[in-house]
Amino acid sequence: MSEMLRVENLKTYFDTRKGLVKAVDGISFSINKGEILGIVGESGAGKSITGFSLINLIDSPGEIVDGSILFNDRELTQLSEDELSKIRGGDISMIFQDPQMSLNPVITIGKQLIETVTYHNSETSKQDAHKKAVEMLELVGMPAPEKRMASYPHQLSGGMKQRVVIAMALINSPKLLIADEPTTALDVTIQAQILFLMKKLTKEFGSSLVLITHDIAVVAQMCDKIAVMYAGRIVEYGSNKDILYNPKHPYTKGLIQCLPKLNEEKKRLYQIPGVMPSLLHLPEGCYFSDRCPFADEECKVYPETITLEGRLVSCHKVKQIS
Amino acid sequence: MKFFENEIVSEFFEDKLAVAGVFIFIFFMFCALFPAVLSPQNPYDLEQLFLENSFKAPFGEFLLGSDEQGRDILSAIMYGLRISLYVGIASTILSVLIGLIAGLISGYFGGIVDTIIMRIADIQLSFPAILVALIIMALWGQGVTKIVIAITIVNWVYYARTARGVVLSEKEKDYAQSAKALGMNSVSIMFKEILPNIMAPIIVIATVRIANAIILEATLSFLGLGVPITEPSLGSLISNGYQVLFSGYWWGSVFPGIVLMLLVISINLIGDRLRDVMNPRLKR
């Protein structure tokens, strides 16, 4: 399989009044064509900023300070705003967290879909764009798509809105889709439908998908590869099976332990003690050390990333733990 | 009818006062558009004026009386309405256009552009509107087009400030961000995505400020700095009648005054109702 996206040592920093926030601090990963990569982590781990960085949509005071994003042999960090806006919504598109918010409330969904098509393909006629929009709505499972074209976002339910958002993201057949917690705002039954739909469509379109989520169960169902993020860095990165069935990093272990299991009776679910440190006051050495049950003197130095049993992991204690 | 199926439109007409306002306004609009059809005489055709008809009391031969040249006040009011409404509406459209663009740019880009536009607005707002208009008219002299421009210069500030305020909150919303993620450039996001979202408050303010512009024009004309004597508006009619008001010929000032008042009230009634139906927070 050919490599579509390669991110190397990406650093996105926010120079705030309180100090430098290293929201994304030197992460590397790659995605092949048609592959689904899951980025998991707690709130504030830098997942969303990673997603926004991929299309360089970082608002001031944030800035990509270092690293490279190689997309189909093009260096995205070097592109001008004009060139970037051609790629956004064309080759790379993004789905936002809250479908209620990401559609324009005063424009019909049909018009918004058509706009997305004609904006990137100026030679497409209104009729063709309309036809494509209806087809797309049908593809995402919108009942009576022709009729729905004239609907305003507030006339649709949350799940339907997210379907529209997905249709909008996929309408220009992007090569890469970034989904930032696409199902967080939806209830569980709709969540499953939407995820299934996204998986099906990305396979159909041959698109790659970066799925950003805090829900490790979602990742387990969907992804080929998993990157676990903690405080702006990737702590473990490898294939779905390796990470889920044989986690090496104590943080990944903790995350998986948090999940309820059907075959075990428990009064209380496991919880990783403590909270993620503020990015302004990171602990010395390994960022996870103050919550890690295995931490000792050795962890006062940030661990090297090592290759172990087919995955990358950053921890001093991996050998001892396994 | 499709028009009445619209939620906002049908809700608008639930209020009796607003309906009354609409009817009065439509009536005045009709008078202003077709004065030649409705008025008993053409008050500016000197061949139709006879001096023996001067200062005739109302409700006789002339329904609303006549002035010193034997001009029918009713006819003069109809022709005057035309000028007043033209000035009010034209200046409002112009100032909405300028204010919207200035507000959009100011709110969307922020920074130095925002500072420059808003400080100009602040400086202008620190003077009374009438004073600014007076200075402009004193410099330029009389004329209908000139007064339209003068009122536009006074009024664009209000739209710019309102538009900027709404843009500031709208541009942070996800739909603007996702438009960016879909590859739209700033101009498209500003005009295609954000503009439709800020129209509600602008429409409401514009309606109320039409009345304001009409009053401002009447004031300027009353002071003799507005429209030229050959194209009298309601304001200049009032001014004209005022000269003989204390000689007992009260009708020359009072009737144009009443019409001006009714016009302003009808517009304000429409504006108030629009504000209620277009603001979802006031809905039950």
One-letter amino acid for residue B90 of the chain: A
Chain centroid offset of residue A275 CA: 22
pLDDT digits (tens, 9 = 90+) for A275-315: 888 888 888 888 988 888 888 888 888 888 888 888 899 98
One-letter amino acid for residue B247 of the chain: S
Encoding tokens for residue A119?
């904006």
Sequence-distant (6+) residues with CB within 8 A of A36 are A199, A202, A208, A209, A210, A211, A222, A223, A224, A225
Helix axis angle for B234-242 and B251-278, nearest 10°, is 150
pLDDT digits (tens, 9 = 90+) for B178-188: 888 888 888 88
Q: Taking the model in full, what pTM does it have? A: 0.78
- CB within 8 Å: B174 and A87: no
Tell me the C-alpha distance between B193 and B190, whole Å.
Answer: 6
Burial of A179 (0-12, 13-18, 19+ CB in 10 A): buried
Encoding tokens for residue A240?
């779905």
Q: Which range (A169-173, B191-195, B280-284) has the least confidence?
A: B280-284
pLDDT digits (tens, 9 = 90+) for A191-218: 888 888 888 888 888 889 999 998 888 8
Confidence of residue A322 (pLDDT cuts 50, 70, 90): low
- CB within 8 Å: A88 and B178: no
Region label for B271, one of left (φ > 0), alpha (ψ between -120 and 50) or beta (otherwise)? alpha
Closest CA to B181 of A90, A183, A105, A153: A90
- Phi, psi for B12 (deg, rounded to 5): -55, -45
- Output Rg (C-alpha) for chain A, integer angstroms: 21
- CB within 8 Å: B175 and A87: no
Residue B45, classed as helix, strand or coil, is coil
Sequence-distant (6+) residues with CB within 8 A of A20 are A13, A14
Judged against a pLDDT cut of 60, whether residue B126 lies above it is answered with yes
Interface test with B, best of A97, A102, A107 (most B CBs within 10 A): A102
Per the CB < 8 A criterion, the answer to whether B206 and B213 are in contact is: no
| Sheet containing A62-71, strands listed edge to edge, beginning at the edge strand earlier in sequence | A19-32, A3-16, A62-71, A74-75
Q: Which range (A14-18, A128-132, A259-263, A276-280) has the least confidence?
A: A259-263
Q: Give this complex's ipTM.
A: 0.75
User: Residue A1's pLDDT is what?
Assistant: 57
Interface test with A, best of B108, B171, B172, B178 (most A CBs within 10 A): B178
Q: Which residues of B touch A103 (CB under 8 A)?
A: 175, 178
Question: Which of B173, B184, B193 has the CB atom closest to A101's CB atom?
Answer: B173
